[in-house]
Amino acid sequence: MKMKYPWIKGIIVSVVLVLGLGIFPVQLPFLHMTHATPVAKAAAPKYVTTANVHLRKGPGTKYSVILTIPKGKRIPYLKKNGSWIQTKYKGKTGYVSSQYIKKAGKSSPASYAAPSTKTPGTYVKGILVVNKKHRLPSSYNPGENKQARKAVNAMTAKAKKANIRLTAFSTFRSYDRQRVLYNNYVASHGTKQADRFSARPGYSEHQTGLAFDIGGANSKHWAEDSFANTKEAKWLAKHAHEFGFIIRYPKGKEKVTGYQYEPWHLRYLGSKNAKKVKKSGKTLEEYLNIKG
């Protein structure tokens, strides 16, 4: 007969079993050793240095210094020896005094400050408003806002990790540059149509230095309706507010903003304001209760 051993895995081989007066051939599994699945080691708790601290060869000041760990560095907790903690930094293992470290909390997301309000223009709730009803002086020529550019660079780097390539293809525009662009659009499309997608000089957010037109890997979609269907546009719609930006002219809101849908046109407000506008689901005009 066949004897079953469901708890043992192996190759079936024939053996002879002697029972009383008879000899019976039977099959038994060929036993072999199996290796237990290794248990994953728990991650070492993280600590952060509260000052520049010496990493020493042993748990005490009598031991020589291996190197100095700068303030604010995250280090792993390996074990404790009195008031000294064994840790590892830059491939070197040693001890640091526990009085110069603290348990690390969860990393906070980066925060991007709101732009300065010490610039010309109309401000509502601390936000500079530039639209068809509110203009900037023709002499205002600030260039690209440094805070906004820093946020764009961070956003581009974050997107790259998700295999998304972003390019800021149009940023600051002077009053004179906007005048040339607008007049060209009027000449080719007529005033009524041009006003739907191009700002008149003095009424463009690009003159603030806070507006960035963002495109993806394929430049044929830049500033085109087709950009809305790209993975880059979808990523921006989901993540732009994390870096202090809003999609300034949302779909279906032309009567509110005065401009047709532009999924590529981002306006920098800073993290706090951008998150509030995003959460509200409103346009900037609706959020600030102003006319566009």
Phi, psi of 220, deg, nearest 5:
-65, -15
User: Residue 69: which domain range?
Assistant: 46-103
Asked if 98 and 231 sit in the same domain, the reply is: no
Q: What is the structure's pLDDT at 109?
A: 73
Q: What is the structure's pLDDT at 155?
A: 98
Q: 99 in a domain, yes or no?
A: yes
Indicate which CATH number applies to the domain containing 199.
Answer: 3.30.1380.10
Q: 220 in a domain, yes or no?
A: yes
pLDDT in tens, 108-144: 678 999 999 999 999 999 999 999 999 999 999 999 9
Coil, strand or helix: which one is 131? strand
pLDDT band at 196, cuts 50/70/90? very high
Asked if 129 and 267 sit in the same domain, the reply is: yes
Q: Which residues contact 234 (CB under 8 A, 6 or more apart)?
A: none
Number of domains observed in the structure of the chain: 2
Q: How many helices (H) and strands (E) are present in the chain, helices listed first?
A: 7, 16
Q: 245 in a domain, yes or no?
A: yes
pLDDT at 14 over 90: no
Q: What is the structure's pLDDT at 41?
A: 54
Q: 37 in a domain, yes or no?
A: no
- The continuous run of DSSP H or E covering 156 comes out as helix 146-161
Q: 234 in a domain, yes or no?
A: yes
Asked if 94 and 174 sit in the same domain, the reply is: no
pLDDT at 31 over 60: no
Identify the sign of the CA torsion 116, 118, 121, 126.
Answer: positive
What's CA 72's distance to the chain center, in Å?
22
Asked if 92 and 230 sit in the same domain, the reply is: no
Q: How far is CA 78 from CA 72, 75, 84, 92, in A?
A: 18, 9, 11, 13
Q: 163 in a domain, yes or no?
A: yes
Closest to 124 measured CA to CA, from 246, 291, 260? 291
Asked if 97 and 199 sit in the same domain, the reply is: no
Compute the distance between CA of residue 163 and CA of residue 158 in angstroms, rounded to an integer: 9
Question: In the chain, pLDDT over 70 holds for what percent of residues?
Answer: 84
Asked if 62 and 164 sit in the same domain, the reply is: no
Closest to 236 measured CA to CA, from 141, 156, 182, 180? 156
What's CA 266's distance to the chain center, in Å?
16
Asked if 54 and 183 sit in the same domain, the reply is: no
Phi, psi of 246, deg, nearest 5:
-125, 155
pLDDT band at 104, cuts 50/70/90? confident
Q: 67 in a domain, yes or no?
A: yes
pLDDT band at 94, cuts 50/70/90? very high
Asked if 93 and 176 sit in the same domain, the reply is: no
pTM of the model: 0.66
Q: What residues does 17 pair with on adjacent strands?
A: 24
Q: 181 in a domain, yes or no?
A: yes
Amino acid at 26: V
Rounded to a whole number of angstroms, the CA Rg of the chain reads 33
Compute the distance between CA of residue 244 and CA of residue 266 in angstroms, rounded to an integer: 10
Asked if 76 and 131 sit in the same domain, the reply is: no
Asked if 141 and 170 sit in the same domain, the reply is: yes
pLDDT in tens, 181-194: 999 999 999 999 99
